[in-house]
Amino acid sequence: MKGSKLFKNVKLKGQKELVSILVEDGIFKKISADIPQEKTVGCEEVDLNGQLVVPPYVDPHLHLDYVFTASLGEENGSGTLFEGIQRWSESKGNMTVEQMKERIYSGIRKEMLHGVQAIRTHIDVTDPIFTGLKAALEVRDEVKDILDLQIVAFPQEGMYAYKGGDKLVEEGLKMGADCVGAIPHFELAREFGEKSIHKTIELAVKYNKLIDVHCDETDDTQSRFLELLNALALMEGIGTRTTASHTCSFGSADNSYAFRMMKLFKKSGINFISCPTENVYLEGRQDTYPKRRGITRVKELYDNGINVCFAQDSMSDPWYPLGNGNMMMILDHGIHLAQMMSPEEITNVLDLVTTNGAVTMNITDHYGIEENKPANFIVLDAKSEFEAICERAGITASVRHGEFLFKKIPAKVTGAIDLLK
């Protein structure tokens, strides 16, 4: 059958028995340990030799317009979020749309070669000529067959701290951005932060958009914009379409407050994104010892059945000097910082960089290894969940609509002494 493939000897997460996957016309036609031979006549056969197959990695929080901008301006000497914003503000106005597209594509290439097939990127719209947004909108259309790319209209310098920022966010939504963004903890006073949350909800309802707020990305335990965001999303019935990114201060909040909020998060269905490498790097800068880890309460959210996922956030920009789009490395850092390594957790934590991110992005209608969904998946260089996590397994293949986006040959040891063979 033209366009049909049979992937044999597939290890799926949570299953002991190897299965076969029949793909027809880019769709998962059959997933079973026993597919009748007559169903596979004429199929191209691909033997995966027991390797672990999972849905593609999802990076639900990235700044593609900032990729490789760390060298453009002065160094972020304090290593803080707030100086990073200052450095970006000083250097961001010198790029054309084409130059911005080159940056965006360089970030996409890195992520996709690590197995990512879905990205939500925050694009700075505190720019009256919308250089970044114009570039991102063009790229979204150009990559639509190989990548799910969502765009957040993000006011990096504030909805109200930047004059007319709220109007720029609204214009960004009209231009085609998928999500409303905000940064309430950066506004000039608490009242303006709260006002930005109200405006975010208002715009999301008005234009039927998703929400992703940079929320309480600070060690300040008095920064509680998350509480208002959750309450308004709950009242409007849009909790599952709402995401709170970072929420670092919630990791420092007292336990009685956190306990109360968990029930409200569960009720609203709000999503959480933690960026473990970036949060641990930026937060705790004013601490001596004990020194905070800077991440939100990932384990507690996870244990309470609240959707939480991990993200890269930055690739060599004024906030974070490193980052290469490798979600397995992000997962490795995240589960260490969140102390999530019980046998059961090790079996399931891949969800933090796959399925949970898809839930956050609201793309589960066409995401996941299920019959009648698009045949999108990645193959890891491991034969179990434990091996994948322990060895920080790389990608041996990425498949989109049943076709290979790429294959990789795993590293081999040569010339070794007998003990190391």
pLDDT of residue 1: 42
What's the distance, Cα to Cα, between the start and end of the chain in Å? 42
Annotation says 217 is catalytic? yes
The domain made up of 57-366 has a fold known as TIM Barrel (3.20.20)
What the block records as the tokens of 43 is 């199929």
Hey, where are the domains in the chain?
A: 4-55+369-407, 57-366
CA angle 356, 362, 363 (to 5 degrees): 90
- Catalytic residue of the set 111, 157, 217, 385: 217
C-alpha separations of 397 from 29, 124, 378 in Å: 20, 33, 6
Sign (positive or negative) of CA dihedral 150, 152, 156, 162:
positive
Sequence letter at residue 87: R
pLDDT in tens, the chain (421 residues): 447 999 999 999 999 999 999 999 999 999 999 998 888 888 999 999 999 999 999 999 999 999 998 766 566 666 676 676 676 566 666 789 999 999 999 999 999 999 999 999 999 999 999 999 999 999 999 999 999 999 999 999 999 999 999 999 999 999 999 999 999 999 999 999 999 999 999 999 999 999 999 999 999 999 999 999 999 999 999 999 999 999 999 999 999 999 999 999 999 999 999 999 999 999 999 999 999 999 999 999 999 999 999 999 999 988 899 999 999 999 999 999 999 999 999 999 999 999 999 999 999 999 999 999 999 999 999 999 999 999 999 999 999 999 999 999 988 888 889 898 8
pLDDT of residue 334: 99
User: CB–CB of 353/111 below 8 Å?
Assistant: no
User: CB–CB of 62/122 below 8 Å?
Assistant: yes
Architecture of domain 4-55+369-407: Roll (2.30)
Partner residues linked to 12 by β-bridges? 53
Query: One fold for both 4-55+369-407 and 57-366?
Result: no
Q: What is the model's pTM?
A: 0.95
